[in-house]
């Protein structure tokens, strides 16, 4: 089995942002030379996440509104007693989760018709990394 690892750094302009990173995942797959296997894509920060869904602006806005409804920004999180102000960002990350695994078949990401890989930033405007680990033959 072969392995190929890449790191992608994001520094978002906004506090919350959703970035389609499918092209970076496809690029890592091409560089790896792997034809059959899987790719792990994982946010390396506890206030960010990675998910697979449709690349449609309305849906992204719906996801953002849904997450804000479940874990709204507010000042009374216990986490804020530590001097932080990002309690909601940690909770949003737990909902989205921090990683996905994408199957690789015949040298391509084996997605459904509209699936894309997204990086979700919940406490942005600073550099954060995502690991892409390609594994297979």
Each residue's pLDDT tens digit, 65-101: 999 999 999 999 999 999 999 999 999 999 999 999 9
By CB neighbour count within 10 A (0-12 exposed, 13-18 middle, 19+ buried), where does 135 fall? Answer: middle
> Looking at the chain, how many residues does it have?
137
pLDDT class of 111 with cuts at 50, 70, 90: very high
Which residues are registered as beta bridge partners of 48? 121
Residues 6+ apart with CB under 8 A from 62: none
Give me the pLDDT at residue 118, please: 98
Superfamily of domain 2-136: YjbQ-like (2.60.120.460)
Sketch the domain layout of the chain as residue ranges.
2-136
pLDDT in tens, 15-63: 999 999 999 999 999 999 999 999 999 999 999 999 999 999 999 999 9
Compute the average pLDDT of residues 109-118.
96
Contact 121, 128 (CB under 8 A): yes
């Amino acid at each position: 089995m072969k392995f190929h690892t890449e790191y992608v750094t994001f520094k978002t302009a906004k506090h919350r942002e959703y970035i389609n990173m499918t092209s970076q995942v496809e690029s890592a797959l091409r560089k790896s030379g792997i034809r059959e296997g899987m790719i792990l894509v994982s946010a390396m920060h506890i206030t960010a996440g990675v998910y697979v869904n449709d690349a449609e602006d309305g849906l992204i806005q719906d996801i953002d509104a849904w997450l804000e409804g479940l874990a709204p920004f507010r000042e009374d999180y216990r986490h804020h007693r530590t001097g932080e102000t990002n309690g909601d960002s940690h909770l949003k990350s737990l909902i989205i989760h921090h990683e996905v695994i994408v199957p690789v078949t015949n040298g391509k990401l084996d997605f459904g018709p509209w699936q894309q890989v997204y990086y979700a930033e919940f406490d942005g405007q600073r550099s954060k990394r995502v690991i892409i680990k390609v594994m297979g033959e």
